[in-house]
A and B are shown apart, each in its own frame.
Chain A
Amino acid sequence: MSANTAMAEKYRNNFLKEIEDQVEMGDWVKMCMQCGVCSGSCPTNFQSAWEHPPQELFMMIRAGKREEVLTTSSMWNCTSCYNCIVRCPRKLPITHIMHGIAEYAHRLGMAPKMQPTRFFSGLFWKNCTHTGRVNELKLSLGLYFKDGFAQGVKNGMAMQTVALGLLKAKRLNPFELFGGHKCKDQKGIQAMLKKAYEIERSRKTAKMAG
């Protein structure tokens, strides 16, 4: 049974409970009073392709719209500006809930596969935890080549002037490709993260069983 099917079985007809158990800060969702200040404050609200603003997602969760919530690209539009957090009259940590729902959808494999920010988010975490520090060059190249080699070259060409400007200002180092900045105790970092994932996984599983 896939992780998704198992969760769907366990939390049948109680999507709110599922979010409370499995999503970081998920137990705040029920506190939303649907005022819409978060939606009006969100910088991506004015962009196209914004399916559901936060307060709508919260109501959808309470209405049990599991499939729609977990497969939408909406959470991935978050720019982490924290405007919704500081303006929410009920003090919901909305940015963190958005990240939390996104992480959960990603964990279940339900998040839209080719959503660029989802891709970049995963890429960033892998990049920075690999050596303990971000490798900016590999991070950019990893993103450009996400849709294959030809598209990668095209994307790279489109970014040529930006890259040249940074190179001239010595704010981009081509040698980062062959190593770059890193932590000394990479082994310790890997061991520590492995443990952290183990603990987190066992806590989430315990909640599902409980």
Chain B
Amino acid sequence: MAKHEYAFYPGCSSQKGASASNYLTSVESMCKTLDVKLTEIPDWNCCGASIGYAEAGELPRHVMNARNFALSEQHLPGQEIVATCAACWLGARETRERLTHSDTLMADTREALKEAGLQINEMPNIRHMVEVLIEDLGFEEMAKHVVRPLEGVKIAGYVGCQTNRPFGVAGESFENPVYLDKMVEMVGAESIPEYEQKVTCCGGALAFSEPEKAQAQIKDIVESAYDHGAEMIVTPCPLCQANVEIYQGQINKRYGTKFDIPVMYYSQLMVVAYGGSAKDAALNGQVIKARRLEEIAAKPVKR
């Protein structure tokens, strides 16, 4: 039996061929090393994300998340739900909070769920993967598995918004969370605690609908990483990752910059440090290649 078991809510962007498929690959490798067992919630659905608000309304939005709770309760009773995506985690946690605080909303939700033949009896705990790592395993346990420290690599920890606000990770401040810097140190790399854009918004969904606004934000995020001498940026959020990575070419055209900095997930850093291959860490999923990590991943492991 695995040391830790959870009901897994991977989210739309993590699916095969989708924009964060490299995140899922690296999380799976990471969890194997850490003996964490994730069982996908059967037939889970989209959380609705914060951007669906024009048509989502209140109840339909919560019902979407509640369906996942009901499926988890039915198929994986007693397990906490773990999400890797910031938006999934936030959406599900918000629904949990609202339903817990309003009997009317809870009753209405139950009535709608009946139409899909589902029910909720207990409210599940909703966790983000980084919470599981920090709270259930701890830094000491995470560090134990490092066999290939990322020595001499300077990495800007970009936390972004939705893993940080409005809920955030317990014990961390909204203005200056430090857990990501600690994770960078844990894999043997050099963190940049004074990176002042660590909680700046990447523009979220506006990167699609009003790109000039989002790209102004992304420019600040990337520029500051360069100013601090970072070789790469690391983030816990799929939308932050995509937005900060894939538009660097367009930003270069718009602003005359020469950005070309890799943007990684914490799980990718951990897999390489844990002795995994470039494939295990899904380094082939980078639009801007992380050459330095590829080199390290090709090196033999110190055991």
Q: Does the CB pair A43–B200 fall under 8 Å?
A: yes
- Check B19 against A120 for contact (C-beta < 8 Å): no
Query: What's the least CB distance linking A120 to chain B, in Å?
Result: 4
- Which of the residues B56, B58, B166, B208 comes within 8 Å of A140, measured between beta carbons? B208
Cβ-based interface call for A116 (8 A): yes
B-side interface size class: 35 or more
Instruction: Tell me whether A122 is interfacial, beta carbon within 8 Å.
Output: yes
Given A117-B210, A192-B113: A166 and B165 within 8 A (CB)?
A: no
User: Contact flags (1/0) for B276-291 with A, using CB distance below 8 Å?
Assistant: 0000000011110000
Q: Which residues of B contact A162 (CB under 8 A)?
A: 246-247, 249-250
Chain B: CB-nearest residue to A50: B213
Q: Which residues of chain B are near A79, meaning CB under 8 Å? A: 161, 201, 203-206, 214, 217
A169-B286, A176-B17 known; A81 and B115 CB under 8 Å?
no
Residue of B nearest to A93 (CB): B166
Q: CB < 8 Å: which of B12, B53, B67, B168 contacts A99?
A: B53
- Residues 73 to 108 of chain B near chain A (Cβ within 8 Å): 108
User: Separation in Å of the B43 CB from the closest CB of chain A?
Assistant: 5
Q: Which of A3-11, A32-40, A82-90 contacts B (4 or more CB under 8 A)?
A: A82-90
On chain B, the residues within 8 Å of A172 by CB distance are 17, 19
**Distance of A180 Cα from B271 Cα, bound (Å):** 29
Using A134-B12, A191-B116 as known contacts, say yes or no to A83 and B55 having CB atoms under 8 A apart. Answer: no
Q: Closest CB of chain A to B41's CB: distance in Å?
A: 11
Whose C-beta in chain B lies nearest to the C-beta of A200? B59
| B60–A80 CB distance below 8 A | no
Residue B50 at the A interface, CB < 8 A?
yes
User: Taking the nearest CB of chain A, how far is it from the CB of B131, in angstroms?
Assistant: 17
CA A128 to CA B203, docked complex, whole Å? 20
Mask: chain A, 131-175; 1 = CB below 8 Å from B; 0 = not: 011101001100100000000000000000110011011111101
Residues of chain A with a CB closer than 8 A to B20's CB: 171
List of A residues within 8 angstroms of B204 by Cβ: 79-81
> Within the assembled complex, what's the spacing in Å between the Cα atoms of A95 and B216?
21
Chain A proximity of B159: nearest CB distance (Å): 12
Q: Mark B17-29, 1 if CB is under 8 A from A, else 0.
A: 1111110000000
Shortest CB distance A54–B (Å)? 15
Which one of A81, A106, A116, A133 lies within 8 Å of B45 (CB-CB)?
A133
**Residue from B46, B113, B166, B284 within 8 A of A128 (CB atoms):** B46
* Known A44-B213, A129-B46; contact A82-B165, beta-carbon cutoff 8 A: yes
Give Cα A188–Cα B15 distance, bound, in whole angstroms.
22
User: What's the nearest-Cβ distance from chain A to residue B179, in Å?
Assistant: 17
Judged by a CB distance under 8 angstroms, whether A119 is at the interface is: yes
Question: Does residue A30 face the partner (Cβ distance < 8 Å to B)?
Answer: no
Is the pair B55, A195 in contact by a Cβ cutoff of 8 Å? Answer: no
- State whether the Cβ of A63 lies closer than 8 Å to any Cβ in chain B: no
In the complex, the answer to whether B287 meets A43 with C-beta atoms within 8 Å is no
A171 touches B285 (CB 8 A): yes
Contact A183 B45 (CB under 8 A): yes
Is B161 a contact of A121 with CB atoms below 8 Å?
no
Closest 4 pairs between A and B when the two form their complex, measured CB to CB: A173-B17, A188-B116, A81-B201, A80-B50
In the complex, given contacts A136-B13, A193-B112, what are 9 additional A-B residue pairs having Cβ atoms less than 8 angstroms apart?
A79-B201, A85-B166, A121-B52, A125-B55, A125-B56, A169-B22, A192-B118, A194-B115, A200-B59
Interface residues of B (CB under 8 A from A): 12-13, 15-22, 43-46, 48-60, 63-64, 67, 108-109, 111-118, 161-162, 165-166, 168, 174, 200-201, 203-206, 208-210, 213-214, 216-217, 242, 246-247, 249-250, 284-287
7 CB-based A-B contacts, threshold 8 Å: A81-B204, A82-B165, A102-B54, A120-B205, A134-B49, A189-B67, A195-B112
